[in-house]
Amino acid sequence: MLRIHFTAEDLLRVRLAPGPDPLWEAVLSAHQVNQPGGPLVFAEWRSRVVSGMSWEARSYLRLTPPRGYTPDFLTPAGGTTELGAGLETVLSTPSARFRDELELLGGQRDVPRWALDLARSAPARRRLERATQAYHDQALAPYWSAIRTAVEADVAAHVRTLTGGGTAALLGSLHPSVTWRDPVLRVETAADRDVYLEGRGITLQPAFFCWRAPISLADPGLAPVLVYPVPHRLSWLRPAGGGRHDRALAALLGRTRAAALAALAYGASTSELARHIGVSAPSASEHASVLRDAGLIASRRERNSVWHTLTPLGQAVLDGDRVLPVVQRPPASAASRAASPASAGARASAGAPRAASAAASLARIPASSSVRPRARSSSAHAR
């Protein structure tokens, strides 16, 4: 169990990231590329990416093993929604951090020769910049709209939770593996560990390619962040309205009502639904009522609005025969991805009769028993 200890000041300094962080998505997606036979939800994406990846983009993969340690400098503390700004921060990493983190990486796998020069060589840093940019351009940029849609929908849902129930409700709703018992946030992990925020606050970063369990930076000297998975649709790569199933769904439900069902894939209020499908709010409410009566969506009132989400049946109807299998949660010990730095959690992802997938995964936090913030130049995380 990972326990994150909050003070009253920390509760006032909880920050929910506004959208996907391109550097976190790069690292987490690279883990999926490096892991043959990974989650089914990423299988088609991985096949596309691997088949056309350039040599320069592949050099980025050498720094992001699917298990164990990945250097913290690839995902700078503080986060960003802009790749360019994030890369500037990566390239300004102190030489001592480059050296220490690459030494940790070298303890578990061979480090590329060019990467070993990052601590002292401007050309090596430029190569890291080119490799990261090339990987992003090939693996993420073509799919960024779908990634952003999923992450921003999750942010919107959690903002509603925050406004309706406060910080405690937000912390308790992040993920099935996370529970909030004031003043401690508990995350199911393989290792027993405590982290004390001590007034620094924490950033909550939703991530599309984070799978099954929240993860975090290892270095307690860096700004605290908890990266957590967002819900996924297995058909996220499929263009809306263009496939055989979409045409059949429109014929079954009617074009507008089928569009309404698709618009609720990540949840929406009645007014948002109206904007998505181009109808009035009363008309959107009527479509939602029909879908709810059919068991395809569930609705709940939140103050002055009504929030609609797909039911497992609605998800199955929307995705057709593209459904995720039910996965039982393995024992906590199966979560460890490295001998020392590892942690795990479980996640539930809305689905059809598949209901939800849940399993243990990795984290970037070393398995020491208690960690308080301290000044240090090196950092480490296990994913």
Which whole number is the average pLDDT over 153-157?
A: 88
At residue 74, the pLDDT reads 96
**Quick one: which of 48, 35, 79, 81 has its CA closest to 217?**
79
By the 8 A CB rule, do 209 and 42 touch?
yes
Q: How is 146-182 classified by DSSP, letter by letter?
A: HHHHHHHHHHHHHHHHHHHHHHHHHHHTS-TTEEEET
pTM of the model: 0.72
pLDDT of residue 133: 97
Angstrom distances, CA of residue 211 to CA of 165, 269, 278, 338, 360 = 26, 26, 34, 17, 9
Write out pLDDT tens, residues 197-245.
999 999 999 999 998 889 888 777 889 999 999 988 777 776 555 567 7
Q: How far apart are CA 140 and CA 45, in angstroms?
A: 10
Q: Is the pLDDT of residue 139 over 60?
A: yes
Tens digits of per-residue pLDDT, 72-131? 999 998 888 899 999 999 999 999 999 999 999 999 899 999 999 999 999 999 999 999
370 pLDDT exceeds 50? no
Quick one: pLDDT at residue 234? 74
Tokens of 321: 């025969």
H-run or E-run covering 89:
helix 83-91
